[in-house]
C-alpha cells in the first residue's frame, strides 16, 4: 500500500511546492476554519492533487442544529469546485465524538471522501473515541496527535493504539507536530497516512509558502521507511 503524504495548505501559492515535492493530498483551511469557496477553487485549480477542505465554522468542535445546513451547503460547494473531500469532526457536550451530527453531515455528502480532524484529541477517552469513529460511514482518515498538545505528548499512546488494532492503523493519520524519527515506528505499526504542516514551511512560519525541498524530504522519508513483514532491498 502506498504511503500517503498529506500537506496542509492555506492558499494557491502553497500548491506548487506540494506538487513538485511529491505530496499525495492537500488539506486546506484558513486559520483553522473553512476557507471561502473562491480560495478552495483556486487551490484546486493550482494543481492536480486531491484536496480536502475543512468544514468548521468557528473555533469550537461543536455544531448547532442550525449549523448543519450551512456545513452541508459549504461542503457541496467545495465539491462542486473540484475538492476531492472534506475534513470535519464534532464533539458533544460530554467531549465524546458526536456520532449523530457527524453521520448526518457525511450522509448528506454521499461519495465524498472525508477525514475526521484532530477534534478526536480533545475527547476524554481516545480508545472509546476510536470505537465510535469506526462506526462512521465512508471515513478514510483520522488526523490525530494522540493528545491536545500533539505528538510531543501523545506519540507513545497513539503508536500503541495503532500497533494493537489494524483498523486504527488503517485510518490513522499522525498529525500535530509529526517528527521524522516517529515515522518509521508508525509505518511498522501499519500506518500509511501522514500529515505535515509547519514542517514544510521555511522556519515553520505560516508567512512562508510550502517549500518543495522540504516536502521532498518527507516524501523520501516515507518512501524509505521499513514496512513490517517485508524486507526492503537497498
SS3 130: helix
pLDDT exceeds 60 at position 229: no
pLDDT digits (tens, 9 = 90+) for 7-20: 999 999 999 999 99
pLDDT digits (tens, 9 = 90+) for 69-100: 999 999 999 999 999 999 999 999 899 999 99
Average pLDDT over residues 46-50: 97
Domains along the sequence of the chain with CATH: 4-224 (3.20.20.380)
With 0-12 CB in 10 A as exposed, 13-18 as middle and 19+ as buried, what is 224? exposed
Closest CA to 78 of 121, 120, 27: 27
pLDDT digits (tens, 9 = 90+) for 176-206: 999 999 999 999 999 999 999 999 999 999 8
Closest CA to 4 of 168, 155, 133, 171: 171
Average pLDDT over residues 17-34: 96
Amino acid at each position: 500500500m502506498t504511503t500517503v503524504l498529506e500537506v496542509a495548505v492555506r492558499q494557491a501559492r502553497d500548491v506548487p511546492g506540494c506538487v513538485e515535492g511529491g505530496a499525495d493530498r492537500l488539506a486546506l483551511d484558513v486559520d483553522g476554519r473553512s476557507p471561502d469557496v473562491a480560495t478552495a477553487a483556486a487551490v484546486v485549480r493550482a494543481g492536480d492533487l486531491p484536496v480536502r477542505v475543512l468544514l468548521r465554522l468557528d473555533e469550537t468542535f461543536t455544531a448547532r442544529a442550525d449549523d448543519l445546513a450551512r456545513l452541508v451547503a459549504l461542503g457541496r460547494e467545495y465539491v462542486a469546485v473540484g475538492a476531492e473531500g472534506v475534513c470535519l469532526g464534532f464533539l458533544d457536550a460530554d467531549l465524546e465524538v458526536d456520532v449523530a451530527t457527524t453521520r448526518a453531515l457525511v450522509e448528506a455528502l454521499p461519495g465524498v471522501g472525508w477525514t475526521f480532524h484532530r477534534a478526536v484529541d480533545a475527547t476524554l477517552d481516545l480508545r472509546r473515541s476510536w470505537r465510535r469513529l469506526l462506526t462512521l460511514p465512508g471515513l478514510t482518515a483520522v488526523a490525530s496527535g494522540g493528545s491536545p498538545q500533539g505528538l510531543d505528548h501523545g506519540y507513545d499512546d497513539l503508536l500503541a493504539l495503532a500497533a494493537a488494532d489494524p483498523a486504527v492503523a488503517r485510518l490513522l493519520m499522525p498529525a500535530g507536530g509529526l517528527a521524522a524519527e516517529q515515522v518509521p515506528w508508525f509505518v511498522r505499526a501499519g500506518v500509511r497516512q501522514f500529515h505535515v504542516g509547519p514542517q514544510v514551511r521555511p522556519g515553520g512560519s505560516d508567512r512562508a509558502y510550502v517549500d518543495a525541498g522540504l516536502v521532498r524530504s518527507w516524501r523520501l522519508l516515507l518512501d524509505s521507511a521499513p514496512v513490517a513483514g517485508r524486507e526492503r532491498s537497498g
